[in-house]
Structure formats: C-alpha cells, structure tokens
Amino acid sequence: MKNLLYYSVLLLGTVCFLPACTSNEESKTSTGEKAEASPEVAFQTVPVSIKTQAKQLALPGELSPYYDVALYAKVNGFINRMPVDVGDKVHRGQVLAIMEAPELESELSRTLSELTAARGRLNISKSNYRRLVQAAKTAGAVAPQELDQAQAVVMGDSANLISQQQRVAGARQMKQYLLLTAPFDGVVTERILSPGALVGPTQKDAQPMLRLKEIGRLRLQVTVPEVYAGQIRQNAPVTYSVNAFPGKVFRGKINRISYNVERSVRAELIEIEVKNPGLQLMPGMYATVGFPVQRQSKSLYVPKTAVVISMEGSYVITVINGKTHWVTVQTGNESNDQIEVIGNLKSTDQVLVNGSDDIRDNMAIKTVSEPKVARH
C-alpha cells in the first residue's frame, strides 16, 4: 500500500514538471528569434538643396499720421479765443488760437517811437555833414578833423537806425506769435487748454494748447526682422488690410527704408506712404502687411526637422563616411517644410532629416537616403 502511494506521487510530479520545461524552452527560443530579427537603427538623410525661393511675408504694422505736432504758445500771454475744436479740419496758416499780451503792445509802441527818433537824428547828422562838405570846398574854411567827425556821426546814426528797425521787426514778430496758426493741413485731434488759460514758454509745466495731425496722408510703419532686412527693396509693391474694413485689400509700395536695425527688437523700420483722401483710415489702426521677399542669389535649404536648436546653438547634422558632423548654421526664409540655412554647407552634403541633440558629433551611424527629387 505504501509503495503504491509513493509511485502515485512520483508520477504526478513528473507530469507537472514537463509542461514547465517545455514553456521555458519555448520562451528562450522566441526571445532568441526576436533578438536576431531586430536590425540596427538606420537614420534617414537628404541632400542639401540649392534654389531661389520667393516668399510672401506677412507682418503687423501700424498707421501713424504723416505729421503730428503739439502746438505751444511762443510768448507769454492769456488765451483770448480758440475758433477751432476737436475734429475740425484746418488748412496751413489758418488761425487756431488768439492770445493777448498788453506788454507786447507796449514794447512795439516803444520801439516804433525809438525808430522815429533814430531816423530824425540821422537826418540831422546827414544835413550837417552835407553843409560841412559844401563849406570845405573853400580852402581853410573847415578843418579836415571836423569833417571826419561829422562823417563818423552820420555812420553812427545810420547804424543806430538799422538797429532800431530790427528791434521793431522783432517786436512785430513777437506780436504775431499771439496768433497760433496751423503749420500744415490737418485735423485737430486734441484741445488741451481753453480761453482764459495763461500760456507761454516760461510757464512751469507748460502744456500744449492743441494737437494737430495730418491724416490726409499716413505712414504705415512696419518692423522687418533682421533676417529679412537684406531682402527688402525700395518701391517694392505691398498689400495691406485693416480690421476696420474686413475683406478689403489696400495696395501701396515701400517708400522709405531706415537702413538701421534697432538693437532692442533686432528689426529694421520701413514706411509705406498711404494716401487717405477720404479719411477712412485713421492713425493708430493696426494693419497686416504682405510683401514678397527673395534672395538675390540662390540659397541652401534643408527640411525644418533637420535643424537642431540647443544650448550649443543652431546646427544641422551631416554624415560623412558613416560619421556625424555638427555644422553650425543660421536660419533664414521658410517655405512649406523647408528652411533656408546659412553655414559651412555644400549642395552635395547629406544631412539627417530628423536632427536631434541625442545624436552626438563624430558618432558612427547607419543611414538610408531619401528618394531623389528634382532640384530647382
């Protein structure tokens, strides 16, 4: 009975052990097959393309008045009358404000009196000199020194008359400053002061009386990023649109280029002169400006995914004889999935389509090329 029980247990253990061994062997065989089936990773490369690529660049811009000035009083006085107000269209030379300053009237009257006196003195000195010249024709009648003195008096009185004439002209000009006139055609956009206000250049915290803007012509100002600065051309055609007139496209041309890259924004300012006879466009409006940019010569292009931007800078990864090489580049124009690169590259170079900073410099890799495409 004991022997029968012993053989039963032994038989049961053998049956359980066989499936386990079979399972382990199958697992090892499967793993080995998978390891042999996993090939080495291959990185896709593409040749650097060389072409001339045009692009329609869209940048934000802002409309500003062609002229914009705050008008201050040039002399001290009180505002007597202001015949214009906000929104009024004015013409060059039109009176915008009238001031009063009694002391200027007194100064003009005094200088006029002094001018009359100076003119009288000159007439007397000239008359004396003429008499002496006539008398000098008789030998010994007039001493030469006396004649010279009379001539000097005439010259002094003549200079004094000229000085008084200039003082009168200055006093009249100062009185003209009591009339504030428009320096150009425009629209009054602000009226800061009112009649009765004391104004003048010597006043503490002097304020302007009015603000005048010329909006019959406007300046559309756009800041162009440094990378496109060399591709902007004088008189190049542009299109622009504003939110106030959805769907409407305005046309113009580049009238002014600053030829200066501002350090703070790394961009160059350009201006487009906008004719605005109907005054439908207004200063302060934002616009979207579109204009073509294109290099004058052919450039090198790679896929956007090929450019790696890291702490080391911007670079692409070329492959030479199965080894990687980092090439530092600057990026430029973009077109669809291509981007312009500037650096130590040639059109025959092969670059990784998908660059990554995980791929180190001088690293051996296996590559596969993209199908060749027609170059431009």
In the chain, the percentage of residues whose pLDDT exceeds 70 is 86
Q: Is the model's pLDDT at 375 over the cut of 80? A: no
Q: 70-96+179-210 has which CATH code?
A: 2.40.50.100
Q: Evaluate whether 51 touches 373 at the Cβ level (below 8 Å).
A: no
* Residue 35 confidence class, pLDDT cut points 50, 70, 90: very low
The pTM for the full model equals 0.61
Q: Evaluate whether 375 touches 49 at the Cβ level (below 8 Å).
A: yes
H or E stretch at 301: strand 299-303
Domain segments of the chain as ranges: 70-96+179-210, 102-177, 215-292, 298-369
> Options 1.10.260.40, 3.90.1150.10, 2.40.30.170, 3.50.50.60; which CATH number does 215-292 get?
2.40.30.170
What is the CB neighbour count within 10 angstroms for residue 69?
A: 16
Q: Is the model's pLDDT at 12 over the cut of 60? A: no
- Tell me which residue of 161, 175, 156, 153 sits closest to 116, measured CA to CA: 161
Q: 102-177 has which CATH code?
A: 1.10.287
Q: Is the model's pLDDT at 348 over the cut of 90? A: no
What does the pLDDT read at residue 373?
47
Burial (Cβ within 10 Å: 0-12, 13-18, ≥19) of residue 319 = buried
Q: How far is the C-alpha of 282 from the C-alpha of 219, rounded, in Å? A: 10
What is the CB neighbour count within 10 angstroms for residue 77?
A: 20
* Residue 2 confidence class, pLDDT cut points 50, 70, 90: very low
Report DSSP letters for 161-220, one per residue.
HHHHHHHHHHHHHHHHTTEEE-SSSEEEEEE---TT-EE-TTSTT---SEEEEEEEEEEE
Q: How far is the C-alpha of 260 from the C-alpha of 263, rounded, in Å? A: 9
- Tell me which residue of 189, 170, 167 sits closest to 75, measured CA to CA: 170
* Residue 294 confidence class, pLDDT cut points 50, 70, 90: low
What does the pLDDT read at residue 53?
65
SS3 content of the chain, % helix, strand, coil (to 5): 30, 40, 30
CATH level 3 topology of 298-369: 2.40.420
- Integer-rounded Cα Rg, in Å, for the chain is 45
Q: Evaluate whether 367 touches 45 at the Cβ level (below 8 Å).
A: yes
Q: How far is the C-alpha of 238 from the C-alpha of 229, rounded, in Å? A: 15
* Residue 86 confidence class, pLDDT cut points 50, 70, 90: very high
Dump pLDDT digits (tens) for 160-206: 999 999 999 998 988 999 999 999 999 999 999 999 999 998 888 88
Q: Is the model's pLDDT at 355 over the cut of 70? A: yes
